[in-house]
Structure 1
């Protein structure tokens, strides 16, 4: 089964590029930029990647990204992820980035987006991995800052496929960003939004995202199961969920595997992704393996998860169909 998963063509839709910062690269970038890390070794830094909640993770996450200063830093970060993705047979990735986490500490938007864009183009040419960028707003900052960031992105919007919303949800509901999302839609961006698992007001946040903001996708979103009416609305509109089992295990104490199973059985377009793999210890392949072991998924069910991902990816129909055909070929040519 692990060999089947390794060869399965994959689509990753919930991946924070800043969350792919492995300790080795953090030390390399710190040295390049003349920064001193508060850790004596790679092993010591990796040991600090230990969390039991969303806030405890975010503290270490934001501290780590201060080593990212220049365009080559962002290029190297993205190429490191895309190289690893290629090795795991990821055919397409839609990558979150957090510009406010960088502009807020003096790194220009232009530096961030140009480094990431160059990596996306090189990965397509050299590695055969297609990728697109999704710009996220930090929900624990003011909506006005999000709007300013949206406006700053407009000269580069051909490089950005959509917008998302992440960071600490407590006291920061989707409604806070309704005007920002309305403008983003007007500018042609597709819309997604984090509704993290078991956060305060989780089901109300999902309701606002689906009914009021009218997102195209939901990130995480397992608490959808708490409201049958919302389940039916998600099914009616074909909204997909970008679930992250290993991440769930660190942040909530459970992979939420049974919830993912129920969503699959209901016909919701569930997908499996890695979220912040450097911090949570598993890229997309490891997440698929973990979920397969927890639920004893069949090869057909695993292929179905990837079909879901390619179906809800923000890609032209012909490109989706080509990737779906790759999944079908892999399934039909594998004996288990």
Structure 2
């Protein structure tokens, strides 16, 4: 990371948890890396590389997160971004057999109005309730630095998306400032009190007694990325938490979090960590894979196809 130039867009970000050791934080590195994405072909090629890696790991379906604000800030049009992604969505399914539905993110360290304008600009590329739209994305979420930026700040954006027939998932990172309160808002308050449909990360649900029962009662799933947390938590602390969630019957699935920035640990590496450090069986791993199908927002035929393949896995050997 030496010599990494930090964009003025993110130079004033508060440091992440555990202090500042002089190196760029993940978010600084991420947004600096985004600066090489300029043309429609850049966004297309980035996505096709991703789908090629997915195919190597036998991933059949994925839901990538994206935003446009980090690019429009640099003078790149929103249409340049989403047209590149849309071509890749179509070609990734055709060339690699990897289907995808994408998730548009509001950047939570940017003003709400800017996020609403960003959503309005890309709305024609969504899968809209009335059957129009180009079908790139079918959900909205949150991204970027959540320091003192609780989910409810973006309630207007969530409501707009719900009115359009889109899904909502909320990023509640682990052990950040006010992490427990962010999880509470995601469960009880957003979307007019209905709560979010999924929580990305959300491991701090274990830190307050009333949150876990409410999470289960409302059927809100967690998308966990074990390696991202393992960077900061000891094995003997982290994995018992995840095992508790599994044992409690929480609907959760295993995912990868910005793998090229996280020591190149992808979904297979995250699944291996869970299998090893939570001492799970092969049947447990198939159940987690089924959870991911149940929790995702793929069409019925795609889900049926993947479930049929999971049903044929021999877990006795």
How far apart are residue 253 of structure 1 and its match?
Answer: 3.2
How far apart are residue 254 of structure 1 and its match?
Answer: 4.2
Correspondences of 1:235-254 after superposition (within 5 Å): 235-250=216-231, 252-254=232-234
Q: Deviations over 1:252-304 (max 9, x none)?
A: 33463221111111111111111110011201001111221211211011111
Q: TM-score, normalised by structure 1?
A: 0.81
2:293 to 290, 307, 310: 310
1:134 to 86, 96, 103: 103
Q: Distance in 2 between matches of 1:254 and 1:320?
A: 35
The answer for unaligned runs of 5 or more in structure 1 is 1-22, 24-36, 40-50
The answer (yes or no) to whether the contact 2:55–2:96 under 8 Å persists in 1 is yes
Where relative contact order (Cα < 8 A, 6+ residues apart) is larger, the structure is 1
2:310 to 327, 333, 336: 327
Secondary structure at 2:25 match in 1: helix
How far apart are residue 205 of structure 1 and its match?
Answer: 0.4
Q: Distance in 1 between matches of 2:118 and 2:276?
A: 41
Secondary structure at 1:253 match in 2: coil
Secondary structure at 1:90 match in 2: coil
The answer for unaligned runs of 5 or more in structure 2 is 5-15, 128-135
Q: Distance in 2 between matches of 1:107 and 1:210?
A: 35
Q: TM-score, normalised by structure 2?
A: 0.86
1:151 aligns with 2:120: yes
Aligned residues: 287
What's 1:166 paired with? 143
Q: Distance in 2 between matches of 1:91 and 1:79?
A: 14
What's 1:278 paired with? 260
Q: Distance in 2 between matches of 1:77 and 1:132?
A: 16
How far apart are residue 38 of structure 1 and its match?
Answer: 4.6
Structure 1's consecutive aligned runs of 4 or more residues displaced over 4 angstroms after TM superposition are 51-55
The answer (yes or no) to whether the contact 2:17–2:176 under 8 Å persists in 1 is no
Q: Distance in 2 between matches of 1:315 and 1:228?
A: 33
Q: Distance in 1 between matches of 2:74 and 2:18?
A: 25
What's 1:103 paired with? 72
Correspondences of 1:245-264 after superposition (within 5 Å): 245-250=226-231, 252-254=232-234, 256-264=238-246
CA RMSD of aligned residues (A): 2.0
How far apart are residue 56 of structure 1 and its match?
Answer: 1.2
Secondary structure at 1:192 match in 2: strand
Structure number with higher helix proportion? 1
Q: Distance in 2 between matches of 1:318 and 1:121?
A: 17
Q: Distance in 2 between matches of 1:86 and 1:240?
A: 25
Q: Deviations over 1:169-203 (max 9, x none)?
A: 11100111111111111112110010000111111
